[in-house]
Structure 1
Amino acid sequence: MSVLDRKFNYSSNKAYTKPFLFTCNLILNTIILLLALKIKLFTFENWLFPFTLLSLVQLFINLITISKLEKRFLSLTNLFLIFSYITHMGILVIFGFKIDIELPWNPLVSITKDTFKDACFFAVLCHAFLTFGMCIVLFKRKTYHLGSTSTNFKEENFQLYLARTIGIILVLIGIVPMLYIDISRVILFISGNYLDTYKVGVNGFVVIISRFAEIGAIMLLIGNHKDKKKAHFILFIIVIYESIVLFTGNRGRPIMFLLTIFFIYNNLIKRVGFKQFINSVAVVYLLGFLLTFIGQIRMLSIRDFATITDLFKKSFMEFSIFKILADFGATIISLGYSLVFFPQTTSFQLGSNYLVSLLTIFPNVGGLLVPIINKTVYINNWPANYREFLGGSYLGELYYSFGDFSFIFAVLIGMFIAFISNKVQESMIVKNYVSLSIYLILFPNILWWTRNYFVGMVREFVWIAVVILILYSIISKVPKRSSGG
């Protein structure tokens, strides 16, 4: 039995820990929220430190609870909680601990102190309900025992063959538009700066086609995970390519994609032990330094090599985790603006913004979908001068939909994320690698949803999943002897 299977073969005498964990998390989050309400009455300066501590304690408690229920730390649920905290509470940590660091985006220039407090409290409130939703699903997770999954060698081999074959086809479909988009961004970055990389001007549907190559690479990695040499070669190519994309300043998508790749590596190819963990920490530190460096140079001309060299040295000497928090933590502004502008600029959507997102799976012929896109991308409903350079926030989007009671609906988001996490784990255990690949389409998109929009994952998931299912249907009809070896 594999390490992954053993993780899920927990005995019945530990079953009592589930309701115990569930109850403890509920009680502790309730206490945290009550304390947060009490100190919310403090002046801004007196509020910062205790609220920062409360938010960190909440994160710690929630991660422990989810880790126990998931039987692992590295999971979609935990990663989402971490990224949600970094993007919405990162600046709070810097302010709360009085970290002397230059902020690329200072929220207090854009929103008032009271709005900042309201946004932080709303985030803590939503994190409590988000975790509650996750616990509901994980509490009912099916327990797998030894022998309960009877995938035989022939069936597994055929699944590996399907993953490899479909993966190759997807790469061939997406490789040309992907290279065109990324090479164009590199050229624009070299000739200008980070913001110029958004001038590629490619149709959104072409972008979706380019994503086929990424999912194809994931399927190739999964399909070759038993051949360590091939798997490591594919991993090497992916990391090198995404690192090049990172240097254009477009960090979000590559980071989430690389996290997905690491998740596959850790679960299917090689479990990360203590020594590997130390090496990984060193790599993460180096990556963090590079991200900070990229964040500094992306607004400069690449031709200014002397300045870039100085910034490289400065970044190497001064890099810390707080720089990452400062860089990604500006999402709190997007949430703050939602609290300020809605429902003044437009009425609350009552969930319709999520539902109409499904219509975006169709091409935007003749601009017919423009009203729908404006409805789903909530920042389009702010005054025009407030939208520049700001991305989304799944919490800001939630408030745009349900207003003051939106935190309750964070339960549904938590349930959705835990459901996908369950399906990912189940697919790995039963060795259904095609299903695993389909669920992994959502993996990087869900993580990036923390500072994006729900609509951002809908079209990509539907189109790629449909193509995978069509290819699966066709290839499955080919005699299974083709899958040998």
Structure 2
Amino acid sequence: MRTERKDYLFVIVGLMQAVLFLLCVLLNDIKFCLVISLLQFFLSGLIIFKLNGTIFSFGFIFLSLSYILHMGRLVVSQIIGVEDGFSNQLSEQTIKDGILFFILCHMFLLMGICFGMRKKHKYIIKNKIIIDKVTYWRVTLVLLVIGIIPRIYIDVHQIRTQLYGDYLLTLKQQYGVLSILAQFFYVGILSFIYLCDDRKWMAKVAITVTTIWECITMLSGGRIYAVSLIVSMIYIYFNRIDRVCARSIVLGLVGIYVLSFLLSTIFVVRVNGSFNVKDISDIAKKGIDKSNPIVSVMQEFGGTFMTLGLSIVNTKGHSFACGRSYLSSLLSIVPAYEKYIANTDDLIFIRTFARSSYLGGSWLGEAYYNFSWFGSLFCCIIGWLLGRFETIFISVKESDNYCGAIFVMSFVFYIVIYTRDYFYKFTTTIQVYLVVLFIAVFFQSIRNVSKRYVNEKLRITQKR
């Protein structure tokens, strides 16, 4: 009966979203479309809560970040009346098309998430590779040792470049092998928190120390990687170690405001190229007016809409990539992949655009670049994968085999950051996952051989 009620709820909400989308198309008004996008966001939260029993689910985190990053600046500009920064670079029709495409994509994304999560209670990880907790702990420590020094070196170098140079210079920095080694840190710290299910205090210390460091690294001007890691750690903590309670919500709201203040300060650093007490005090004195920290963060993070807008402008009337950026990204896993890819610019699609040096990625912009309006249907596949990822995480929590946990910890951070990045970045993630899995299997094999040797020796001793 409960399942039938949920099915009816999905159908009703789905029809409501379809009707609202048609109204947006007919009225063709920016303000109305933004109001509908907000309504859609809250309806999506309701659906996921009914399906998952908690609002703090992976699908809703992805939806929330996608909304803030793409719609944040537009919503703030229309509600509070501040400059959106798009009107002088994008036509009004392009902005309308971008909002409509966003609403359509999120509608299909939610549909995919619901389909992916429907069988969560019946889903069981079936894997012939067995990794126990002791082995996973050893692998985690190895990952932290491998990744922490390259991570700190890159972070410090980025901060110095920002403070003594400029923000765009930090984006052009290439670190080669160091950047690959640094990615093991992300898997390592998330695995560490995951394994602290019986040592809550250790998880809290790890999250606190890492969050403080990530806040410091934001001085480089970049924020999405730091914010994504913080979100990933909190997601794992509240879905593995502790439950969300009233105290957690209050502390979370305070933390959001403090983080918003910090991000606003970093914006001043990036724009002015300076970091002094006067800049910080100016932000604090503005209090809760139009330039309060939370509004500033919405304005800053909401700039991802520009990437989507330029995707619409630069591909309108031209042949679309038809999935080349996704296919090229998968082929780039193969050594000497340049031989198999006709145009390497497809890997990072904004390289094909003019005025793209300051742009970041956008999963919606990439979908439009590849499939035009049909990219919204592709979002249903992304949603289904997110839903299945959630079910895998739920399943591995109840399993003594940590092979599935290694998979989840390897991908969770990069799925979060995908809202502001490119599909291409998953290729390195896949490579890192395979290396981590190899290390885990190697360590487990040694452990199994050692256990057999000890058991055999004990058996011989007992016979004597």
| Bigger shift: residues 275-284 or 235-244 | 235-244
Deviation at 1:86, TM superposition (A): 1.2
The alignment-based identity, stated in percent, is 26
Q: 8 Å contact 1:331–1:392 — kept in the other structure?
A: yes
1:165 Cα deviation after fit: 0.8
- Native 8 Å contact 1:377 1:453 kept in 2: yes
Could you say which residue in structure 1 is the equivalent of 2:348?
377
Matches within 5 A, 1:112-191: 112-143=91-122, 159-191=132-164
2:236 to 244, 264, 268: 264
1:280-324 Cα distance to aligned partner (Å, 9 max, x none)? 11111111111122122222233x625424444346554253322
Q: Contact 2:108 / 2:377 at 8 angstroms: preserved in 1?
A: yes
- Answer yes or no: is the 8 Å Cα contact 1:174–1:211 preserved in 2: yes
Distance 1:35 1:359, change over 3 A: same
Q: Determine the C-alpha separation between the residues in 1 that align with 2:35 and 2:235.
A: 30
Residue identity opposite 1:161 in structure 2 = V
> Counterpart of 1:394 in structure 2: which amino acid?
W
Whether contact under 8 Å (1:380, 1:387) holds in the other structure is yes
Counterpart residue number, 2:13: 25
Partner of 2:444 in structure 1?
476
Deviations 1:174-228 (A, max 9, x none): 223212211111221222343332343312x431221101211111222233122
Deviation per CA, 1:255-297: give whole Å up to 9, x if none.
Answer: 1111110011112222221022111111111111111221222
Following superposition, the deviation at residue 131 of structure 1 comes to 1.1
Could you tell me which of 86, 90, 103 is aligned with 2:68? Answer: 86
Q: In the alignment, which of 334, 352, 371 is matched to residue 402 of structure 1?
A: 371
Q: In the alignment, is residue 52 of structure 1 matched against residue 38 of structure 2?
A: no
Q: For residues 48 and 81 of structure 1, what CA distance do their matches in structure 2 show? A: 21
1:247-286 equivalence runs, <5 A: 247-286=219-258
Please list every run of 5 or more consecutive structure 1 residues that lacks an aligned counterpart in the other structure.
1-12, 41-46, 150-155
Moved more, 221-230 or 251-260: 221-230
Q: Is the 8 A contact 1:161 1:223 kept in 2?
A: no
Shift of 1:123: 0.6
Q: 2:284 corresponds to which residue?
A: 313
Distance in structure 2 (CA, Å) of the matches to 1:81 and 1:260: 14
Partner amino acid for 2:120? R
Where does residue 435 of structure 2 map in the other structure? 467
**How far did 1:244 drift?**
1.4
Distance 2:286 2:255 in 1: 16
Partner residue, 1:447: 416
1:196 paired with 2:178, answer no
Distance 2:373 2:186 in 1: 38
The equivalences for 1:271-420 within 5 A come to 271-302=243-274, 305=276, 307-314=278-285, 318-342=291-315, 344=317, 347-362=319-334, 372-383=343-354, 386-420=355-389
C-alpha contact 1:293 1:311 (8 A) present in aligned 2: no
SS in structure 1 at match of 2:88: helix
In structure 1, distance between residues paired with 2:226 and 2:422:
17
1:216 maps onto 2:185 in alignment: no
The answer to whether the 8 Å contact 2:186/2:413 transfers is no
Distance 1:57 1:260 in 2: 26
**AA matched with 1:196:** L
| Contact map agreement 2:328 2:341 (CA 8 A) in 1 | no
Q: Does 1:226 align with 2:198?
A: yes
Cα pair distance change 1:371/1:64, threshold 3 Å: same
Query: Which digits, 9 at most, give the CA deviation of each residue in 1:334-357, with x for residues without a partner?
Result: 11111111155x621222321221
Counterpart of 2:461 in structure 1 is none
The answer (yes or no) to whether the contact 1:173–1:213 under 8 Å persists in 2 is yes
Name the CA shift for 1:200/1:350 in 2 (closer, same or farther; >3 Å).
closer
Aligned pair count?
445
Per-residue deviation at 1:254?
Answer: 0.9
Counterpart Cα distance in 2 of 1:369 and 1:170: 32
Structure 2: distance between partners of 1:339 and 1:138: 32
Worse-matched range after superposition: 319-328 or 110-119: 319-328
Distance 1:437 1:370 in 2: 31
Measured in 2, the distance between the counterparts of 1:231 and 1:407 equals 38
Residues 26, 210 of structure 1: alpha-carbon distance in 2 compared, 3 angstrom cutoff: same
RMSD: 2.6
1:436/1:381 CA distance change after superposition, 3 Å: same
Asked whether the 8 Å contact 2:224–2:420 carries over to 1, the reply is no
Q: With structure 2 as the length reference, what TM-score do the two structures score?
A: 0.89
Q: Which amino acid aligns with 1:35?
A: L
Query: 1:357 and 1:92, CA in 2 relative to 1: closer, same or farther beyond 3 A?
Result: same
Contact 1:193 1:300 (C-alpha < 8 Å) held by counterparts: no
Matched, 1:429 2:428: no
Say if 2:147 and 2:182, in contact at 8 Å, map to a contact too. Answer: yes
SS at match of 1:361: coil
Q: 1:429: how far off?
A: 2.6
Secondary structure at the counterpart of residue 447 of structure 1: helix
**Inter-partner Cα distance in structure 2 for 1:401 and 1:227:** 46
Q: 1:285 to 1:431 in 2, by over 3 A?
A: farther
**Residue 369 (structure 1) shift:** 8.1
Letter in 1 for 2:111: F
Give, in whole Å, the separation in 2 of the partners of 1:255 and 1:198. 17
2:81 equivalent in structure 1: 100
2: CA distance between counterparts of 1:230 and 1:126? 40
Q: 1:369 to 1:289 in 2, by over 3 A?
A: farther
Q: Which runs of 5+ in 2 are unaligned?
A: 452-464
Counterpart residue identity of residue 175, structure 2: V
Please tell me whether the aligned partners of residues 34 and 99 of structure 2 are also in contact (alpha carbons under 8 angstroms).
no
Contact map agreement 2:196 2:202 (CA 8 A) in 1 = yes
TM-score between both structures, scaled by the size of structure 1 = 0.85
Q: For structure 1, which segment, 253-262 or 50-59, has the greater mean C-alpha deviation from structure 2 after superposition?
A: 50-59
- Tell me how far apart the structure 2 counterparts of residues 316 and 95 of structure 1 sit (CA, whole Å): 18
